[in-house]
Amino acid sequence: MTSSPSRDTAAKPASAWKVFDLDSLRKHVEGSEPRIHEFLRSAAMSCAIYRLPAGARDMQAPHLEDEVYLVLEGKARLHLGDQVEEVGPGMVLFVGATTEHSFFDIQEDLTLLAIFGPAPGTLQRRGAGPSPGSRA
């Protein structure tokens, strides 16, 4: 399967604090297609739940934001520049801005908490593609 994730960018601007229920957030990305749901956005950062079903292909392009992923469930491989890493539940992954990366060989439905800094779309530079949470 080759497709870009469906983007749900209904995030509300950040206030001084917020509390989110992870089970409720996961419901936004259910289904058989790759999906991302941005649930928090401020100028400094953005948070999203990202889901790639087993067999799907991650279509990300390098982007301008640093990114941290927390693997909530599933197993896959992550291409990082010229390296490949096996990823699974409980792993925390850091991807620096402009680093080529994508998940592949998705063996089990992969659900990730993705944290971007700064928020996607805040920085502009020619030649970099949209991040999964951007509105592009």
Task: Taking residues 3-15, report their average pLDDT.
Answer: 55
Average pLDDT on 56-68 reads 92
Domain that residue 63 falls in: 22-117
Specify if 7 maps to a domain. Answer: no
Q: Do the domain assignments include residue 8?
A: no
CB 73 within 8 A of CB 44: no
Residue 17 lies inside a defined structural domain of this protein = no
Q: What's the number of domains the chain is made of? A: 1
State pLDDT tens for residues 22-54.
999 999 999 999 999 999 998 899 999 999 999
Residue of 90, 132, 89 whose CA lies nearest to 109: 89
CB of 87 closer than 8 Å to CB of 68: no
* Angle of CA points 88, 90, 94, to nearest 5°: 85
**Residue 127 belongs to a domain:** no
Over residues 4-30, mean pLDDT = 76
For residue 29, the 8-state DSSP code is: T
Residue 4 domain flag: no
Give 44-110 as a 3 state SS string. CCEEEEEEECCCCCCCCCCCCCEEEEEEEEEEEEEEECCEEEEECCCCEEEECCCCCEEEEEEEEEE
- The model's pTM is 0.78
Question: What would the pLDDT profile of 67-91 be if each residue is shown by its tens digit?
Answer: 999 999 999 999 998 999 999 999 9
Average pLDDT score over the chain: 85
Residue 61: CB atoms within 10 Å: 14
